[in-house]
Structure 1
Amino acid sequence: MWHTVRPLRAMHITQLNRECLLHLFSFLDKDSRKNLASTCPQLQDVFEDPALWPLLHFRSLLELKKDNFLLSPALRSLSICWYSSRVQVCSVEDWLKSALQRSICSRHESLVNDFLLRVCDRCPNLASVTLSGCGHVTDDCLARLLRCCPRLRALRLENCARVTNRTLAAVAAHGRALQTLHVDFCRNVSAAGLRRLRAACPRLVLRAEHSAAMIPDQLPSASGTALLKLMPR
């Protein structure tokens, strides 16, 4: 006896339930999620679900200006790792920068600070932050992050030239939940500042590779300023 085999009907993606759609979206990068969400309101609604965004990783500062991600209380881990030749330009002391170098920095110097201020307002449950190559991030911005994210357990900073002992003091004052702090290659962090932090927070896992051994920023002397004026710009 022969049985007729009915062909399988194709299922449209929007027929999947919410849990399946979230699982599907989780395999996509930020741009792919945004592109898929633009195809219909139902998928846009999935894109805007905070459950989809517990982790955010950015490989360049320009990515911070895009609208292909969501900041929400669901965010637990944030990393901004900029590995570019322009990082070296950002690390040059301001008074030593040429006009070209200042022009390059002016295009992105406020991006990380402005972005972190948005994080402070929207992501109070943040547990881990990694910043690498963010030469313009400031002590004030990091202090506010520590105050606004009381559950922050890990703060990893690498090659952040403007980070100073003031950030260490903010950790001692506001980083009650902080368990791990890295300040690697942050030249304006001193050995004395590290000693004070270790004394104030003996349980903190503190790492500062090469930071205290690097030459910190210095204000130009009168002779240095005169010599600088003679140098080609």
Structure 2
Amino acid sequence: MHITQLNRECLLHLFSFLDKDSRKSLARTCSQLQDVFEDPALWPLLHFHSLTELKKDNFLLGPALRSLSICWHSSRVQVCSIEDWLKSAFQRSICSQHESLVNDFLLQVCERCPNLASVTLSGCGHVTDDCLARLLLSCPRLRALHLENCARITNRTLAAVAAHGCALQTLHVDFCRNVSAAGLRSLRAACPRLALRAEHSAAMIPDQSPWAPGTGASSRKPLLH
């Protein structure tokens, strides 16, 4: 029996055992398998281990997506975590090659994946508060949001969770140095049932610009956003 003689349910089951690249390679062999590849039911989970994977065409974003994770563990993450005003020209050039990737990708998720239930972002140093606020508004079924080492995340994300995270049950903001203890206290007061974890975040010292009002060039006091 040739693979194309299998019914659609069997083909979907077969595809489910393959990684994204293997699914794409198999889909290229004939139009019937391409049609299976494009079935939204095949894509309830998406996991990315580098930012370059976000630019590939080996996956589908659709209403069936329930779980998304982007976990980037690279030496470049350390460069992304440096405040823009502290970066050298070389470091800025490194970031310019990928700084919009995660935000642009999440905006596509907002448009295409309204049933998303879980998001994990680790090492995504350029993801912004505005982007996460948009995600919370666009995905009202979101129950779990895990953020780790996301240097741009501030108390504005916590405020967005309080305002728009109606279904959210779990929030992790680990190693997010621009989240303050005051912001965490406010969120706990606003959402007492939320399972909130913030390992090291409020204890970390954010890099404060020497041009911030009322600060000196050598000031290193934590900012309360």
TM-score interval, smaller chain = over 0.9
Q: 2: CA distance between counterparts of 1:220 and 1:67?
A: 43
- What is the CA deviation profile of residues 173-219 of structure 1, one whole-angstrom value per residue up to 9, with x for unaligned ones? 00000000000000000000000000000000000000000011311
Look at both structures and tell me which one has the larger radius of gyration over its CA atoms: 1
Does residue 185 (structure 1) correspond to residue 168 (structure 2)? The answer is no
CA distance in 1, matches of 2:160, 2:148: 17
Partner of 2:42: 52
Report SS of the residue matched to 2:150: coil
Answer yes or no: is 1:213 the counterpart of 2:184. Answer: no
1:26-78 Cα offsets, whole Å, 9 max, x none, are: 00000000000000000000000001000000000010000000000000000
- With normalisation by structure 2, the TM-score equals 0.94
Kept after mapping to 2: 8 A contact 1:128/1:154: yes
Q: In the alignment, which residue of structure 2 is the partner of 1:230?
A: none
Q: Distance in 2 between matches of 1:196 and 1:95?
A: 29
Query: In 1, Cα distance between the equivalents of 2:127 and 2:20?
Result: 24
Which one of the candidate residues 2, 14, 20 is aligned to 1:30? 20
Question: SS at the partner of 1:212?
Answer: coil
Which residue of the partner structure matches residue 4 of structure 1?
none
Matches of 2:115 and 2:65, distance apart in 1? 7
Taking the aligned partners of 2:9 and 2:25, their CA distance within structure 1 comes to 19
**Is 1:159–1:184's contact at 8 Å kept on the other side of the alignment?**
yes
Ranges in structure 1 where 5+ consecutive residues have no aligned partner: 1-10, 226-233
Q: Using the alignment, how far apart are the partners of 2:201 and 2:216 within structure 1? A: 27
Query: Residues of 2 paired with 1:205 and 1:216: CA distance?
Result: 24
Question: Following TM superposition, by how much is the alpha carbon of 1:130 offset from its aligned partner in structure 2, in angstroms?
Answer: 0.1
Candidates 114, 121, 128, aligned match of 2:111:
121
Amino acid at match of 1:90: C
Q: Does 1:39 align with 2:29?
A: yes
What RMSD in Å do the two structures reach over aligned CA positions?
1.1
Q: 1:166 aligns with which of 156, 161, 186?
A: 156
- Tell me, yes or no, if structure 1 residue 154 matches structure 2 residue 148: no
CA contact 1:95–1:220 (8 Å) conserved in 2: no
TM-score normalized by the length of structure 1: 0.91
Count the aligned residue pairs. Answer: 215
SS in 2 for 1:34: helix
Secondary structure, aligned partner of 1:80: strand
Work out the CA distance in 1 between the residues paired with 2:199 and 2:160: 20
2:102 aligned with 1:112, yes or no?
A: yes
Q: Distance in 1 between matches of 2:217 and 2:88?
A: 15
- Whether the 8 Å CA contact 2:65–2:116 is kept in 1: the answer is yes
Structure 2 CA distance for aligned equivalents of residues 164 and 139 of structure 1: 7
> Equivalent residue of 2:69, what SS?
strand
Is the Cα contact below 8 Å between 2:209 and 2:217 reproduced in 1? no
Percent identity of equivalent pairs: 88
Please, which of 180, 192, 199 is the counterpart of residue 202 of structure 1? Answer: 192
Residue 224 (structure 1) shift: 3.7
Letter in 1 for 2:165: G
| Aligned with 1:93 (options 80, 83, 101) | 83
CA distance in 1, matches of 2:157, 2:103: 14
Q: Is the 8 A contact 2:62 2:112 kept in 1?
A: yes
